Chains A and B, each alone.
Chain A
């Protein structure tokens, strides 16, 4: 199936979803006023990918900022990943945060507490 590539903007993250590699990356800022519109195609892609996924799927989340509208959509995205994970694919989430960014680290912990997927919280020097 086709990959999903979206360039980042002032308010939306760049998206690189690679079906053949089983790698999904969100990077940048997610602060659109209505994030539902932005995240809809991402969820649709994951649904389609879930029909014949790779054995292992890695999701890299490298966000600088995200607003509360996005936080709900990101959770829904994680829940969708939960739903496709199982016998066909094992999904791992890698949540990156910049050193000293306690808010982003805590946000990762918020999701880790809710989502039942392997969830790694990784500190890096710069996103």
Chain B
């Protein structure tokens, strides 16, 4: 990057009030580091214990979604296995609200399943979400990876807002999934 670009990027991140961003492989160690950094930041920003917990909870679920569900991008070059779990994650603060944004590749079939799920979740009010969560919790089965099918429901409940998302077409078999979560 030429020096101008660096300054522009800096200014963009300043303007958007981006607190932390990362693009790369989502490993268990990375999750631990990001969570630790955000905890310290929120302590420093003197956020209320309630806000800290909410943001932390949503962060854990978002990042662990990236960790568990990421797809490999099909490309002409040989991608090393290590790039398999690569994603983009950003957390910013706008007008007193924390906003978490993520981006990752996803295969078309999974994208369709995910979109149905998001539409369903966004169509529910607080009480319906609570019942839905309890239902999946009680009746759902645990996957081999240790996922319970509850992440998105939990994110919607804790953030108090609709999940904003976009599936961008990449090629016949892949989409790029963008998710924005505003925490009340």
Q: Which residues of A does B touch, CB under 8 Å?
A: 10-11, 31-37, 64-65, 67-69, 71-73, 75-76, 98, 100-104, 106, 110, 113-114
Contacts and interface: CB of A to CB of B under 8 A. Distances in A.
Contact of B64 (A33, A36, A64): A33
A57 B176 CA distance: 50
Contacts of A113: 134
The A interface, classified by DSSP as helix, strand, loop or mixed, is helix
Interface stretch (B3-11, B49-57, B70-78): B49-57
Interface residues of B, number: 32
Contact of A71 (B28, B50, B54, B150): B150
The B interface, classified by DSSP as helix, strand, loop or mixed, is helix
Contacts, number: 75
Interface in B19-39: 28, 31-32, 35-36
Interface of B: 28, 31-32, 35-36, 49-50, 53-54, 56-57, 60-61, 64, 67-68, 130, 133-134, 137-138, 140, 142, 145-148, 150-151, 153-154, 158
